[in-house]
Amino acid sequence: MRSIILSFILLFSALASRAQTGWSVLNIPNAGRYDDIFFINDSVGWAAGGSTGWIRKTVNGGQTWTLQFTSPYYLRSIEFIDANTGFAGSLNGQLYRTTNGGLAWTDISPGISPAPDGICGLSAPTANTIYGCGLWAGPAYIIKSANGGDDWTYTDMSTYASRLVDIHFTTPDTGFATGTANPASNGGVIIYTTNGGISWTTMHATQALTDIVWKIQRLDAANWFASIYSEPTNDDTRMLRSIDGGMTWTQLTVSDDYTYIETIGFMDPLHGWTGGEGTLWETTDGGVTWENIDVGYNYNRFFKVNDSTAYLSGQRIYKYEGDISTSVALAEERTTAHRLSVRPNPSDGHITINVSLDNATIADLSIHNSTGITVEQLCTGNADEGEYTFTSNLTPSTAGGYFVVLKTNEGMRYEKVVVK
């Protein structure tokens, strides 16, 4: 049901460009977007297949992938404790557990009260301690198990955040969660606990409306990185880094122009990537300068397994192996979920908005002015596949530029509208 952009991208057309980037496209079916990946070593890993509901496993470093499970729901997150025990979270509230390496999965979410709306992030610092968080569209909460997933607690996080997306714990008691502050006018937020989630401290807020701190990466004890998902009312692209274990954060500019980013990952303190959908940026100086590179599409999770190997989830799975010198060129189609159109444009203030959803999803459709303030919320919540039409009257006395923004599980679509 996804529309296919009628172009094919020859990712690595020459050995020279392949050697420069070190990236390859793995032999795995197109999922639109694999939202998460987790490896227990450089050979064995799993991928959560977003709207396809797939869980696929590799035992040979991504050369081949076996379909183990298909959920009827959107799978956002996946985390393994060891070769046998793992968890996968959906954006519809299900939390699956396996105890046999993914051969069978059981929904254990009925044991969580109140029921979570969805589980965007998972983190298991020990075999017994597992955390989860959500939801990208709100509300904000954290779930926790202290006995390997048998029992769970639910914590309302609205005091600290309006939504949560990612979570990373280094010990059973110490960890970070990321999302949007509450109030949202404080921007994207990183919060921190040292007592297992009993209390939290805000470590950083971006102070930019529409920001979400989307992904967080621990490179080592000192170096941490985070991506900033934003909307086009912010006319630049930014990320965050910490060199003191997450105690203080510095915001760095990736581009003076806006691009949509979600993923972030570094191989060492200098060399890393950030990006989303069709744009991937690379830095070799710790984020001071960035260069756009052509690798894959629709990125979400970066996973480093050792000093020379990393994986990136996207439309397919992409593998980084440093400066290797051999490759097989691969043409990859780019598939885009959902469509948005706004007419007329320019407008006297009266506009018609058409939305086409390729599958059931969480849909958040809103209109923002040029400063990012929401002037109208047209819909938010679960929506079925299909065609939708909305009308709006933007007051003619406030002439200027507006952004119609559609956020879904699969990503974001937007159009700028000029009101005369």
What is the number of residues in the chain? 420
- Look up tokens 């050697």; give the residue: 19
- Whole-angstrom Cα distance, residue 294 to residue 299? 12
Helix (H) / strand (E) containing 166: strand 161-169
pLDDT per residue, tens digit, the chain (420 aa), is: 333 332 333 333 333 333 346 999 999 999 999 999 999 999 999 999 999 999 999 999 999 999 999 999 999 999 999 999 999 999 999 999 999 999 999 999 999 999 999 999 999 999 999 999 999 999 999 999 999 999 999 999 999 999 999 999 999 999 999 999 999 999 999 999 999 999 999 999 999 999 999 999 999 999 999 999 999 999 999 999 999 999 999 999 999 999 999 999 999 999 999 999 989 999 999 999 999 998 899 999 999 999 999 999 999 999 999 865 444 444 577 888 999 999 999 999 999 999 999 999 999 999 999 999 999 999 999 999 999 999 999 987 688 999 999 999 999 999 999 998
- Whole-angstrom Cα distance, residue 239 to residue 226? 6
pTM for the whole thing? Answer: 0.92
Delineate the domains of the chain, giving CATH numbers in brackets: 3-336 (2.130.10.10), 339-419 (2.60.40.1930)
**Cis peptide bond N-terminal to 135, omega within 30:** yes
Instruction: Give the DSSP letter string of 167-186.
Output: EEESSSS-EEEEEEESSGGG
Asked if residues 97 and 108 have their Cβ atoms less than 8 Å apart, the reply is yes
Asked if residues 348 and 420 have their Cβ atoms less than 8 Å apart, the reply is yes
Q: Report how far apart, in Å, the C-alpha atoms of 18 and of each of 180, 208, 329 are.
A: 37, 37, 9
Distant-in-sequence, close-in-space partners of 256: CB < 8 Å, separation ≥ 6: 235, 236
- Residue 20's Cα: distance from chain center in Å? 26
Q: Report how far apart, in Å, the C-alpha atoms of 355 and of each of 4, 91, 307, 369 are.
A: 17, 21, 44, 20
